[in-house]
């Protein structure tokens, strides 16, 4: 746990006096501090403004967004075609999942050439055009960089595998077996061992993910320099942001000790304990990011939200913000991590509160309730039955867009797209589901039915079905055969039917994004949860000096009369998602319809 502890070095005090309307980028030049952040002390004037804090991000899974050539796989031209749709929604920046050359064992997270475009997605010219079309619209592009591992088809790995004396051997981790078995007991995230035996050299190589995704050896300075060069290549093209895939696992424990039985059950965290993790991220910041006007967002899977500040404290000069997983995984069954249990609103809000307090005045969070690895938000935290789908999708939109963190909207979430009704194992494409099936069902540990019940809820494929543009065949995603089946509900749930409907989920998102842009308190204001233990109504304030707002979200399918805390007095309604609540002068309570949410200005 040593690397989890901050070592001491006090940052010199530096005064911050900046206008909050400015969209300036911040460059922090102060050394790492370990002074605990005073939680009562988060003042507007201390939260440095930045374009990436004020921006609303939209995540595109290019494979499933829009196909323009009939191949059935989404492409870059499809993204370009839909930029106006996104601009109209109010989106400022787009994160695209990996767009690099790849054999697609893990849909682009297995890169075979970092400086080429995935052929299914188009060409480098298409990519350059995407950037220039985005610039014309004043939008920024965040790319996904996968630097923990490459594809086994990457030239570095092909060289590395070709013999023990090859200069690239040390680009990856090669170890001798132990007593005729793997070098240690590390499991892979996608099932089986994290070691694969290579017949030629009789050694094993390390892969935290699929065996086609060998882990890079960050302890080799040449690896780091090659990766930095590659990052600069994309930044020089005009990319404004980098989402760094599984960044917390890049440093490995050199002795490769066996995991204890306990650690094995929950190895995500064990894999983030590499002793040089923060040293390498800091180095990458100094050598690459600090030279650009760019935002970095680390996917720190495995790191508890309470530790995220080690990555995002601006005085440490590592990353700008982090995606943590405590919230989206609050319902993972601790006894069997492949399935989910029930979750409660109190646990949800306690998790949000902890993340907010952890970020404090020096860190910053990315806020998301779904992405390409997780179930659809309305099916997960809302209620996707016809009666409640729209109101609960809107309620969740209110939550996503009113946090003191940068909001990330996953494609289709703005329509209230739902999970897919999977029937058999053959309906799945996800390498993760297939690996777990092998580990759990084929070994007889879990029954088929039980596994499918869980996979239906948890599978990453839920989020990966094609975007539902309209009610025509294949939801207007492609004229060919879609690579993954379209959700059969596309005739009811699609963009075309929502664009001109003032009451649609889509138009509610548009309204909220506009408010997020217009009201700085929604970005920078202090966050105060009004009742951490309430399991029905999620209520919190956002306070920025004299600008005070109340956010209320009813998480239940019944009406409630919510009693306002005594020190709260509503001045006016900013927005309401569902039914209207006529607010009386000096109201002491507010009547909420099922799944109703609203933002109110306070006196
Ligand atoms: O995810 C990292 C990661 O650990 C998750 O895949 C996690 O194992 C999974 O969500 C559990 O359901 C990133 C990418 O987001 C993911 O799509 C990639 O497959 C993975 O890295 C490997 O690059």
Domain boundaries in the chain?
47-100+366-422+460-518, 156-206, 221-364, 429-458, 526-602
- 190 within ligand 1 shell (Cβ under 6 A): no
- pLDDT above 60 for 283: yes
Q: What six digits make up the tokens of 138? A: 């004043």
For the Cβ of 271 lying below 6 angstroms from any atom of ligand 1, the answer is no
Q: Provide the pLDDT for residue 17.
A: 29
Q: Is the CB of 109 under 6 A from ligand 1?
A: yes
With a 6 Å cutoff on the Cβ, whether 373 touches ligand 1 is: yes
Q: Does the pLDDT at position 239 exceed 90?
A: yes
Q: Is the minimum distance from the CB of 461 to ligand 1 under 6 angstroms?
A: no
Where is pLDDT greater, at 14 or 396? 396
Selection from 90, 202, 179 nearest residue 507 by Cα: 90
Q: Which atom of ligand 1 is nearest to the CA of 302?
A: 4
Do the domains 156-206 and 47-100+366-422+460-518 match in fold? Answer: no
DSSP 503: T
Note the pLDDT of residue 36.
38
Fold assignment, 47-100+366-422+460-518: TIM Barrel (3.20.20)
pLDDT at 46: 61
Instruction: Quote the CA–CA distance of 111 and 10 in Å, as a whole number.
Output: 40
Other C-beta atoms within 10 Å of 131: how many?
17
Q: What pLDDT score does 311 carry?
A: 98
Percent of the chain with pLDDT over 70: 92
Strands 203-206 and 174-175: antiparallel
Class of residue 525 by CB neighbours under 10 A (exposed 0-12, middle 13-18, buried 19+): buried
Token digits of residue 108 = 């682009």
The answer for residues whose C-beta is within 8 angstroms of residue 445's C-beta and 6 or more apart is: 439
Say if ligand 1 is within 6 A of residue 106 CB.
yes
Report the alpha-carbon angle 83-86-87, nearest 5: 85
Indicate which atom in ligand 1 lies nearest the CA of residue 146: 23
How many Cβ atoms are within 10 Å of 1's Cβ, its own excluded?
A: 6
Residue 37 predicted with pLDDT over 50? no
Q: At 410, is the pLDDT very low, low, confident or very high (cuts 50, 70, 90)?
A: very high
534 pLDDT exceeds 50? yes
Token pair of 25, please? 């980028």
State the pLDDT at residue 335.
Answer: 86
pLDDT band at 580 (very low <50, low <70, confident <90, very high): confident
For the annotated catalytic residues, the residue numbers are 245, 299
Distance 58 CA to ligand 1 centre (A): 19
Regarding the domain delimited by 221-364, which CATH topology (the fold level of the hierarchy) does it fall under? TIM Barrel (3.20.20)
Mutate to test the pocket of ligand 1, among 143, 151, 207, 209 (most ligand atoms within 8 A of CB): 209
Q: Ligand 1 center to residue 300 CA distance, Å?
A: 10
pLDDT category of residue 582 using cuts at 50, 70 and 90: confident
- Can you tell me the distance from the alpha carbon of 156 to that of 315, in angstroms, rounded to the nearest whole number? 35
pLDDT level of residue 156 (50, 70, 90 thresholds): very high
Ligand 1 centroid distance, CA of 189 (Å): 8
Atom nearest to 189 CA in ligand 1? 8
- Give the residue, out of 97, 100, 106, 109, with the most ligand 1 atoms within 8 A of its beta carbon, to mutate for a pocket test: 109
Sorting pLDDT into bands at 50, 70 and 90, what band is 98?
very high
The pLDDT tens digits of the residues spanning 501-528 come to 999 999 999 999 999 999 999 999 999 9
Residue 529 has pLDDT above 70, yes or no: yes
Pocket lining: 368 vs ligand 1, CB cutoff 6 Å: no
- What is the 209 CA–ligand 1 centroid distance (Å)? 8
pLDDT at 176 over 70: yes
**Strand pairing report for 140-145 and 597-602:** unpaired
Nearest CA to 383 out of 558, 581, 551 is that of 558
**One-character DSSP codes across 421-486:** ---SGGG---HHHHHHIIIIITTTSS-HHHHHHHHHHH-THHHHSPP---SSGGGGS-SS--SSPP
Short-list 350, 417, 429, 355, CA closest to 389:
417
| Secondary structure string (H, E, C) spanning 201-259 | CCEEEECCCCCCCCEECCCCHHHHHHHHHHHHHHHHCCCCEEEECCHHHCCCCCCCCCC
Terminal CA-CA length for the chain: 47
CATH 3.50.50.60 fits 526-602, yes or no: no
Average pLDDT over residues 297-309: 97
Ligand 1 centroid–CA 65 distance in Å is 19
Query: What's residue 15's pLDDT?
Result: 27
Regarding the beta carbon of 430 and ligand 1, being less than 6 Å apart is answered no
Best CA proximity match to 550, nearest among 578, 529, 566: 529
Q: What is the pLDDT of residue 579?
A: 77
The pLDDT-based confidence of 240 (bands split at 50, 70, 90) is: very high
Which atom of ligand 1 lies closest to the CA of 209?
22
pLDDT reading at 3 higher than 70: no
Architecture of domain 156-206: Alpha-Beta Complex (3.90)
Closest atom, ligand 1, to C-alpha of 190: 8
Region 83-98: mean pLDDT is: 98
C-beta of residue 351 within 8 angstroms of C-beta of residue 324: no
Three-state SS at 514? helix
* For range 427-453, the mean pLDDT: 95
Q: Whose CA is nearest to atom 1 of ligand 1?
A: 246
> Strands 113-117, 100-101: parallel, antiparallel or unpaired by DSSP?
antiparallel
Q: Is 174 in the pocket of ligand 1 (CB under 6 A)?
A: no
Q: Which residues of 281-307 are buried (b: 16+ CB within 10 A; e: fewer)?
A: bbbbbebbbeebebbbbbbbbbbbbeb
Residue among 110, 190, 301, 332 to mutate when testing ligand 1 (max atoms within 8 A of CB): 301
For residue 411, is pLDDT > 90? yes
Nearest-CA residue for ligand 1 atom 22 is 109
Q: How far is the CA of 373 from the centre of ligand 1 (A)?
A: 6
At 20 the pLDDT is 31
245 lines ligand 1 (CB under 6 A): yes
Mean of all residue pLDDT scores within the chain: 92
Contact present, 595 and 382 (Cβ < 8 Å): yes
pLDDT of residue 337: 87
Choose among 182, 180, 170: nearest CA to 219.
170
CA neighbor of 263 nearest in space, from 252, 276, 251, 272? 272
The answer to whether residue 585 scores a pLDDT higher than 50 is yes
- For residue 458, give the ligand 1 atom closest to its CA: 12
What percentage of the chain reaches a pLDDT higher than 90? 89
What the block records as the tokens of 428 is 């799945």
Beta carbon of 146 within 6 Å of any ligand 1 atom: yes
Please, which pLDDT band fits residue 34 given cuts at 50, 70 and 90?
A: very low
Cβ atoms of 55 and 93 closer than 8 Å: yes
């Amino acid at each position: 746990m040593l690397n989890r502890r901050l070592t001491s070095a006090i940052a010199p005090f530096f005064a911050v006096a900046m206008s909050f309307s400015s969209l300036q980028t911040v460059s922090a030049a102060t050394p790492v501090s370990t002074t605990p952040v005073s939680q009562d002390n988060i003042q507007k004037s201390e939260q440095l403004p930045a374009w990436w804090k004020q921006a609303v991000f939209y995540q595109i899974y290019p494979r499933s967004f829009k196909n323009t050539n009939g191949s059935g796989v989404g492409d870059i031209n499809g993204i370009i075609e839909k930029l106006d749709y996104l601009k109209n929604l109010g989106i400022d920046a787009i994160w695209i999942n990996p767009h690099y050359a790849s054999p697609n064992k893990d849909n682009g997270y297995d890169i075979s050439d970092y400086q080429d475009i995935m052929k299914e997605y188009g060409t480098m010219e298409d990519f350059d055009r995407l950037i220039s079309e985005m610039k014309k619209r004043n939008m920024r592009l965040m790319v996904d960089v996968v630097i923990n591992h490459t594809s086994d088809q990457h030239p570095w790995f092909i060289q590395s595998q070709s013999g023990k004396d090859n200069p690239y051997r040390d680009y990856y981790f090669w170890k001798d077996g132990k007593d005729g078995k793997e070098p240690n007991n590390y499991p892979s995230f996608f099932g089986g061992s994290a070691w694969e035996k290579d017949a030629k050299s009789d050694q094993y190589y390390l892969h935290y993910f699929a065996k086609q995704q060998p882990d890079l050896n960050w302890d080799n300075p040449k690896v780091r320099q090659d990766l930095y060069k590659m990052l600069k290549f994309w930044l020089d093209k005009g990319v404004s942001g980098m989402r760094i895939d599984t960044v917390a696992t890049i440093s490995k424990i050199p002795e490769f000790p066996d995991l204890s039985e306990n650690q094995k059950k929950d190895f995500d965290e064990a894999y983030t304990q590499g002793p040089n993790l923060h040293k390498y991220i800091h180095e990458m910041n100094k050598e690459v990011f600090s030279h650009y006007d760019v935002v970095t967002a680390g996917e720190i899977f495995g790191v508890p939200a309470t530790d995220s500040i080690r990555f995002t404290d601006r005085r440490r000069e590592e990353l700008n913000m982090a995606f943590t997983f405590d919230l989206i995984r609050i319902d993972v069954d601790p006894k069997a991590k492949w399935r989910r249990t029930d979750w409660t609103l109190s646990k949800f809000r306690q998790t949000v509160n902890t993340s907010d307090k952890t970020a404090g005045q020096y860190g910053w969070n990315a806020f998301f309730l779904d992405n390409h690895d997780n179930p659809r938000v309305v099916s997960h935290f809302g209620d996707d039955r016809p009666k409640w789908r729209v109101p609960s999708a809107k309620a969740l939109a209110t939550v996503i867009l009113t946090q003191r963190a940068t909001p990330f909207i996953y494609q289709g979430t703005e329509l209230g797209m739902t999970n897919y009704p999977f029937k058999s194992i053959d309906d799945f494409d996800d390498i993760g589901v297939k690996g777990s099936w092998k580990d759990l069902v084929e070994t007889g540990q879990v029954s088929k039915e039980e596994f499918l019940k869980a996979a239906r809820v948890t599978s990453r494929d839920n989020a990966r079905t094609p975007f539902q543009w309209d009610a025509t065949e294949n939801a207007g995603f492609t004229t060919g055969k879609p690579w993954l089946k379209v959700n059969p509900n596309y005739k009811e749930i699609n963009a075309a039917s929502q664009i001109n409907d003032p009451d649609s989920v889509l138009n509610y998102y548009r309204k909220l994004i506009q408010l997020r842009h217009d009201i700085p308190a929604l970005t920078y204001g202090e966050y105060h949860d009004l009742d951490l233990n309430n399991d029905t109504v999620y209520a919190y304030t956002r306070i920025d000096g004299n600008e005070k707002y109340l956010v209320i979200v009813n998480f239940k399918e019944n009406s409630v009369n919510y009693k306002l805390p005594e020190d709260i007095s509503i001045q006016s309604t900013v927005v309401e998602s569902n039914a209207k609540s006529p607010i009386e002068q000096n109201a002491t309570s507010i009547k909420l319809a099922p799944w109703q949410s609203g933002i109110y200005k306070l006196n």
